[in-house]
Structure formats: C-alpha cells, structure tokens
Amino acid sequence: MKFNAPRGTNDILPPDTLKWQYIEKKTHEIFSNYNYQEIRTPIFEYTELFQRGIGEVTDIVEKEMYTFEDKGGRSITLRPEGTASVIRSFLENKIYGQAQPTKYYYIGPMFRYERPQSGRFRQFHQLGVEAIASNDPALDAEIISLGMRLLQDFGLNDLELHLNSVGCGECRPTYVDKLKKYLNENKEQLCDNCKSRIDRNPLRVLDCKNDSCQSVIKDAPKITDNLCESCADHFNDVQEYLDILNLDYIINPLLVRGLDYYTNTAFEIKDNALGAQDTVFGGGRYNGLAEEIGSRDLPGIGFALGIERLLLSLEAKDIELPVESGVDLYITVIGEQAKKESFKLLDQLRNKGFITEIDYLGRSVGSQMKSADRMNAEYTIIIGENELNNNSATIRNMKSGDEKEIQLSNLLEEMKQLVDKEDI
C-alpha cells in the first residue's frame, strides 16, 4: 500500500524549512522587541471552547472543525485558530492577577476542514499576537503597526490596511436589525447560503464574494454610521494613533472578519498580488471573549498571520528571504585510517561551530568532491595516507579551486581565518 500525506496537508522539506526557520526567528526577534512573550497552548481543546468563543453559527464551527470524541467520551477539537486558546489559558492560570496588559505571541499549526486551494490548507500555520486587559486605542494601533513592521521586514511594502469598527454589544444589535431588514428586502438577489444567514448571522453576508451578493452588499447599511458615541470615539482615536505612526489605511465599513468574538476595531492587511485570497493577515478587538468563555470581562486585541499565505505573497513579488544552505567544510578521506583520524577532526570542527560533513558511503575521491559541490561546501579538507604521514591536510577552496597544505595542529585556527563565522 502506498501512503500519501492527507489531502490539505503537505510536507515542508529542506531547503524550504530554512525559509520557515527564518520567518520564525524574525518573528521571535520583532515580537520580543515590542515586549510580547511567547505562549504555547495545546493543539486540541474541548469543543465547547470554540463553540462559545468563535460562535456556533460561524462557518468554522458549523463546517470546518476537526472534532472527535476521545476515549473518555469528551468532545475534543483540533484548534482552528489561536485566540480562544490563549484567552482560556489566561483565565485558567489567573494571569489577570499580574501586571497588565499581558502581551503574548504564538506560532503553531491550526486545523480547518476547508477545500484545499492556493494559500489554504487543512493543516496550516499561524503566527499571532494577543494583548489582553487594556481597551486603550493606542494598543490597537500598536498591534496593527507590529504586523505591518513584520511584513516590511520580510520585504513586503505594497500592502493595503483596511480598517473598520464593528461596534459593541450596545450599538451592534441596532445595526444588525437594520441590516436584516435591508437583506430581507433584497433577499431574492442573494445566494442560497446568504439567504440562510440573514436571520442566523447577517454579518456573515458581508463576507460573501458571490457577484450577485456583492451588488446587494455595496448598498447595505454601514455599521460606521450606527456606532454609539463610545465606539465612535474609540474608532476615531485608533485612526489618530495610526496617523501619528504615518500608517495609511482605508476605511472599509463592510469589513467584519469571520469570527463572532470581534468588537470595535477590525482590520485586514491585503496584498493585491494574491488575487481572490488577498488577505495576508487580519485581526481586531474581542472585548467580550473572556466573559463568553470565562467569568471575567476583559478587553483584548490581536491578529493572526498565515505563514503559508505569507510565503505565497513573498513568492508573488519575487522576494527571496536571506537564507543560506550548505556546509562550511567537507572532509574528503582516502582510506580507512584517514577516515578514523578525520572522524575525530570532524567532531572538533563541529564543536567549534563549523557546519561540517564527511563521506559515509565509501565513495571515491571524485564522488566525494561531487557530493561536497552539491552541498555547496565552501571548502574541502582532503586527508589521505600521505597527509597522515606528514601530519597535514590539503584545503581546497571549492569556488576557486585553489589548494594549500597545512599542518593538522594548525587546522582549526586556519579555518577560523578562512570561514566567516561570527560566533567563532
């Protein structure tokens, strides 16, 4: 029987893993610079956490979650997103008793049963941030600027920031009633999916990409015209702080995001080079989430960025991440005794920080040289019977072909001079 990876998943192989490692390393550096600390939560949670947190009438909960019953009869779900787990952890571990706000970031796999397509997988990877226990609009601007800074460090500059406020528990119900009335008046022009959403979750209609639905949506009531004074002031303050940071943005009153926990600020960063799936990352406030899944009314804001989507955006713009593959040194051995002596040298070189390789297949000198070339080795160290008798080695520059003989006792110091290793 032939085994393949399940549909919607993929293997990440070298040298692509170097790109992932670079993204993760840069993420750690930049997020730490903003005083966000890494949090790691379980890959699976009790299903009710996502039902209550994300919303039972969202596409994620209704159609896309990987849910199963464990041997104890408990309903378990592979996490489809990261925010609900972070808030659960914050509440369970009573972090609210510490100095606030709490600022977390995470990197890890998520799972959704979606139709696989460009940039969408059933197992995908997100990096994200959450800032909990502050409703300060300046924090909204910080979160947005942090995401933009990260993308700019990867070389992505031609991006659009779309911004909206989805209101709060006081003003949104009034808007939802107006939206329902409008959608019912134009119901015949909507797709079947949107027709079913009118009474259950009308805000989701604003997400629909169907052409006939779009023609209805463009004239729908705008939530920005129905904000209460508090939400309007908060939204204006967010814009003012973004102006201070010289971040351009587009007010998009149809932007509502796909999860029910959002309140007030909602935002997306779009890259037109990606076509229909043009959102690189998005996020917003979720001031009611902690109360929904726990017992405390705590504000919060965050965003999540899909790493696969980020790599697609970089590829679409022909941006190469500054990663290098290959080895510093390849030890070419001639004869069994030379291999035994070289094996000790191999260990010494690796302990000094050199990326070093040796032949394990008993190949000829010519084949070993070809192997060194395929590995992009900077230098080869050739050791045979003659070299052993003279207690020496021949060093070859693989680019120029230049060779020189040095004493084995001086090899480590010589390689420090030849190979640019900052930490040696």
Binding-site positions for L-histidine = 81-83, 112, 126, 130, 257, 261-262
Distance between CA 419 and CA 409 in Å, rounded? 17
Say which amino acid occupies 269: I
Distance between CA 198 and CA 183 in Å, rounded? 7
Q: Cβ of 258: how many Cβ atoms within 10 Å?
A: 15
Tokens of 273: 């080079």
Instruction: Write 272-276 long-range contacts (CB < 8 A, 24+).
Output: 272/158, 272/160, 273/158, 273/313, 273/316, 273/317, 274/119, 274/309, 274/312, 274/313, 274/316, 275/118, 276/209
∠196-197-199 over CA atoms, to 5°? 95
Q: E strand or H helix at 5, and its extent?
A: none
Cα pseudo-dihedral 236, 242, 248, 250, rounded to 10 = -30
**Beta strand 123-132 with 160-165: parallel, antiparallel or unpaired?**
unpaired
**166-185: buried (b, 16+ CB within 10 Å) or exposed (e) per residue?**
bbbeebbeebbebbeebbee
Q: Cβ of 313: how many Cβ atoms within 10 Å?
A: 25
Binding-site entries: 81-83, 112, 126, 130, 257, 261-262
For residues 66 and 133, is the Cβ–Cβ distance under 8 A?
no
